[in-house]
Chain A
Amino acid sequence: MKDQHLISLTVNGEPHEVLAESRRTLADVLRHDLGYTGTHLGCEHGICGACTVLVDGVPARSCLMFGVQADGAEIGTVEGLADGDRLSDLQEAFSRRHGLQCGFCTPGFLMLAEAFLAENPGATREEIREAVSANLCRCTGYQGIVEAVTEVAESRRERA
Chain B
Amino acid sequence: MSTTGTAAPATGAAVGHRVIGTSVRRHEDDRLLRGLGRFADDVDRIGQAHARVVRSGSAHAEILGIDTAQARGVPGVLTVITGADLAGIPPIPIRLPRGDEPAESLQPVLAADRVRYVGEPVAVVVAEDPYTAEDAAELVVVDLRELPAAVEATGTKPAATLEAGYGDVAEAFAAAEHVVELELEVGRHAAVPLETRGLVAEYDVAARTLQVWGATKVPVFNRGVLARMLGMPQERIRLHAMDAGGGFGARGEFYPEDLLIPWLARHLRRPVKWTEDRAESLVALNHSRQQRHRVAAAFDADGRLLALRDEIVHDNGAYLRTHGLLVPELTIGMLPGPYRVPAYHAAVDVVLTNKTPCGTYRAPGRYEGTFAREHLLDVAADRIGLDRAELRRRNLLRADEMPHVRPLRALGTDVVLDAGDYPGLLGTALERTLPWRAEAERLRAEGRTAGFGFAVFLEKSGLGPHETADVLVEPSGLVRVHSGGTSLGQGIETALAQIAADRLGVDDTAVHVVNGDTELQPFGLGSWASRSTVLAGNAVDLAAQAVVERARQVAALMLDVPQAWVEQDGAGFAAGGRRVELAEVAAACAPGSRYLEAGTAPGLQARRVFEADHMTYPYGVHVALVDIDRGTGHVSVLRYLVAYEVGRAVNPALVEGQLLGGVAQGLGGAVYENFHYDEQGQPQATTFMDYLLPTAAEVPGVVEALVTEDAPSPDNPLGVKGAGEGGITAVGAAVANAVRDALGLSGDVGHLPLGPGRVAELAN
Contacts and interface: CB of A to CB of B under 8 A. Distances in A.
Interface of A: 21, 23-24, 31-32, 36-45, 47-48, 50, 77-79, 81-82, 87, 91, 94-98, 100-107, 110, 125-126, 129-130, 132-147
Contact of A41 (B10, B33, B41): B41
B696 A105 contact: no
A87 B689 contact: no
Interface residues of B, number: 60
A147 to B, nearest CB: 6
A40 B39 contact: yes
A129 B30 CA distance: 24
Contact of A79 (B30, B34, B657, B702): B34
A137 B703 CA distance: 16
A102 B488 contact: yes
B277 A44 contact: yes
B699 A143 contact: yes
Contact of B697 (A95, A96, A129, A141): A129
B56 interface: no
A78 B665 contact: no
A133 B687 CA distance: 17
A82 B489 CA distance: 22
Contacts of A32: 44
A83 B461 CA distance: 42
A95 B192 contact: no
Closest 3 CB pairs of A and B: A38-B35, A102-B489, A103-B32
Most buried by B among A24, A44, A139: A139
A45 B695 contact: no
A31 B42 CA distance: 8
B670 interface: no
B688 A47 contact: yes
B34 A81 contact: yes
A102 B191 CA distance: 14
Contacts of B660: 140-141, 143-144
A141 B39 CA distance: 21
Contact of A147 (B6, B248, B662): B6
Interface in B1-55: 6-7, 9-10, 25-26, 28-37, 39, 41-42, 44
Secondary structure call for the B interface: loop
Interface stretch (B239-247, B601-609, B750-758): B239-247
Nearest to A110: B33
Interface in B671-693: 687-689, 693
B653 A98 contact: yes
A90 B31 CA distance: 14
B278 interface: yes
27 contacts: A38-B34, A38-B36, A38-B37, A40-B245, A44-B278, A45-B278, A48-B194, A48-B278, A48-B688, A96-B10, A98-B654, A102-B32, A102-B195, A102-B243, A102-B488, A104-B39, A105-B194, A107-B35, A129-B696, A130-B697, A132-B696, A137-B194, A140-B657, A141-B699, A141-B703, A144-B7, A144-B657
A90 B727 CA distance: 27
A106 B243 CA distance: 13
Nearest to B35: A38
Contacts of A79: 34-36
B25 A95 contact: yes
A144 B10 CA distance: 13
A103 B693 contact: no
Nearest to B662: A141
Contact of B248 (A47, A129, A138): A138
Given A40-B195, A143-B660, A147-B6, A106 B32 contact: yes
B688 A104 contact: no
A111 B277 CA distance: 23
Contacts of A141: 660-665, 699, 703, 727
Contacts of A31: 41-42
B196 interface: yes
Contacts of A95: 10, 25-26, 29-30, 33
Nearest to A139: B661
Given A45-B689, A103-B243, 5 more contacts: A79-B34, A94-B33, A136-B693, A144-B657, A146-B701
B696 A104 contact: no
A139 B699 contact: no
Contact of A78 (B7, B35, B243): B35
Contacts of A82: 33-34
A42 B29 contact: no
Contacts of B26: 95, 98
A50 B701 CA distance: 22
B695 A103 contact: no
A104 B41 CA distance: 12
A37 B656 CA distance: 30
B28 A97 contact: no
B58 to A, nearest CB: 23
A101 B490 contact: yes
B194 A42 contact: yes
B131 interface: yes
A97 B696 contact: no
A105 B695 CA distance: 13
Contacts of A37: 35, 39, 41-42
B192 A138 contact: yes
Contact of B193 (A78, A102, A110, A134): A102
B491 interface: yes
B489 A101 contact: yes
A144 B703 CA distance: 11
B194 to A, nearest CB: 5
B35 A39 contact: yes
A111 to B, nearest CB: 10
Contact of A101 (B41, B657, B693): B657
Contacts of B662: 141
Interface in B381-435: none
Nearest to B243: A103
Given A102-B194, A105-B194, A47 B699 contact: no
A127 to B, nearest CB: 11
Nearest to B191: A138
Contacts of B695: 133-136, 142
B29 A143 contact: no
Contacts of A137: 194
Nearest to B489: A102
A130 to B, nearest CB: 6
A42 B373 CA distance: 36
A83 B44 CA distance: 27
A125 B696 CA distance: 12
Contacts of B277: 44
A125 B81 CA distance: 53
Contacts of B657: 98, 101, 139-140, 144
B381 to A, nearest CB: 30
Nearest to A92: B33
Contacts of B30: 87, 95
A123 to B, nearest CB: 13
Contacts of A50: 194
A104 B695 CA distance: 16
A47 B689 contact: yes
